[in-house]
């Protein structure tokens, strides 16, 4: 993901191509919210992100509906820092009490290990969407 | 990672992918829309090719994925390279077959002699478990691209 974000200007991260409702930073913020919920949230801890982020980036939200764009730098810094925090807290045993999450009728997440494994797939999905956004903007893709 | 978790994420990942096949005809799978560089079929074929290469391929094992898929679908290729489009039915057959065989082969120790390789500078895959986990991310990337392609060609989810 970081390879694909490298070199993008704030303008490019906020651009919503014609016919779409998302932009690059929405995809990044969405993953930040998702990983926070999948680990801290479903283990009964407060989310390590601003309260407003679920309204900006949560499932079903859209960059096209923002009254004001979020601070891109803040989103990026939180996104980059979160995996290390999750690992540190995992090793400290903070995620042992896990509430079962039904993501879809045929898909339940029953432990933080399953949650992190799912997150890798989910992050891949949004990397793919960012790749497509970059192609639409005529930008080079790292691949 | 425990085997159960690994198998579960493999099946789940492929399940999400299979949901996106529905509603696409052959023409739509072959269309390269304006603003894109490949098509849905290329992305599905690439998934089949990559999954095979980093599991069976890394152990020198044969599989039923055609050798021609390297030329049609490996990284850096595109539909513009094809003289003739590969068979949609064949590619989708491999996708739908999913990962079932790999479970039994794994349990039988087929991947014990894994030849690790460098996926990117500083990132190596040294065991089949790491390959399977990476594959879940990789399938996600191409599912994301497929979803974007479907939107560009006007197919609603």
- Structure tokens given for B4: 């159960």
**The residue count for chain B:** 157
Please give the model's pTM, rounded to 2 decimal places: 0.89
- Residue A143, pLDDT above cutoff 70: no
- Residue B157, pLDDT above cutoff 60: no
Cross-chain Cβ contact A113/B136 below 8 Å: no
pLDDT for the residue numbered B1: 47
From the list A84, A86, A66, the residue with the least C-alpha distance to A25 is A66
- Residue B99, pLDDT above cutoff 80: no
Please identify among residues 59-118 of chain A the ones whose CB lies closer than 8 Å to any CB of chain B. 106-107, 111, 113-114, 117-118
Spatial distance between the Cα atoms of A18 and A25, rounded to a whole number of angstroms: 16
Q: What is the DSSP letter of A36?
A: H
Q: What is the DSSP letter of B44?
A: H
Min Cα separation A111/chain B (Å): 9
pLDDT in tens, B124-149: 999 999 998 899 999 999 999 999 99
Calculate the CA A6 to chain-centre distance: 17
Mutate which: A3, A103, A125, vs B, most B CBs within 10 A: A125
Mean of pLDDT values over B67-71: 94
pLDDT in tens, A28-80: 999 999 999 999 999 999 999 999 999 999 999 999 999 999 999 999 999 99
Q: How many CB atoms lie within 10 A of CB B132?
A: 25
From the list A5, A7, A6, A26, the residue with the least C-alpha distance to A15 is A26
Mean of pLDDT values over A79-103: 92
Q: Mean pLDDT in chain B?
A: 88
Q: Which of A17, A121, A123 is closest, CB to CB, to B13?
A: A121
ipTM summary value: 0.86
Q: What is the rounded (10 degree) CA torsion for A39, A124, B139, B128?
A: -60
Percent of chain B predicted with pLDDT > 90? 54
pLDDT for the residue numbered A50: 95
The answer to whether A143 faces chain B, any CB pair under 8 Å, is yes
Mean of pLDDT values over B35-49: 93
Q: Which of A107, A121, A135 is closest, CB to CB, to B137?
A: A121
pLDDT in tens, A111-132: 899 899 899 999 999 999 999 9
CA-nearest residue to B8 within chain A is: A114
């Amino acid at each position: 993901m970081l390879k694909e974000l490298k070199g993008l200007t704030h303008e490019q991260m906020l651009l919503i191509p014609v016919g779409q409702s998302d932009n690059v930073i929405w995809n990044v913020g969405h993953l930040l919210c998702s990983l926070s919920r999948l680990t801290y949230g479903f283990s009964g801890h407060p989310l390590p992100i601003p309260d407003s982020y679920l309204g900006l980036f949560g499932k079903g939200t859209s960059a096209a509906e923002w009254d004001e764009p979020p601070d891109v730098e803040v989103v990026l810094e939180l996104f980059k820092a979160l995996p290390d925090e999750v690992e540190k807290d995992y090793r400290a045993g903070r995620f042992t009490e896990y509430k079962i999450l039904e993501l879809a009728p045929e898909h339940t997440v029953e432990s933080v290990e399953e949650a992190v494994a799912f997150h890798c797939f989910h992050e891949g999905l949004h990397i793919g969407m960012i790749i497509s956004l970059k192609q639409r903007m005529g930008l080079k893709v790292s691949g | 990672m425990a085997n159960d978790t690994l198998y579960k994420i493999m099946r789940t990942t492929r399940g999400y992918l299979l949901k996106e096949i529905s509603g696409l005809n052959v023409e739509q799978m072959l269309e390269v829309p304006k603003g894109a560089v490949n098509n849905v079929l290329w992305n599905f074929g690439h998934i089949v090719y990559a999954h095979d290469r980093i599991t069976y391929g890394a152990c020198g094992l044969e599989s039923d994925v055609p050798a021609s898929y390297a030329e049609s679908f490996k990284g850096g290729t595109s539909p513009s390279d094809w003289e003739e489009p590969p068979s949609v039915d064949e590619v989708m057959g491999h996708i739908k077959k999913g990962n079932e065989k790999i479970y039994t082969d794994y349990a039988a120790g087929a991947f014990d002699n894994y030849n690790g390789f460098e996926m990117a500078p500083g990132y190596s895959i040294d065991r089949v478990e790491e390959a399977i986990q990476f594959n879940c991310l990789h399938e996600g990337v191409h599912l994301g691209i497929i979803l974007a392609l479907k939107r560009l060609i006007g197919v609603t989810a």
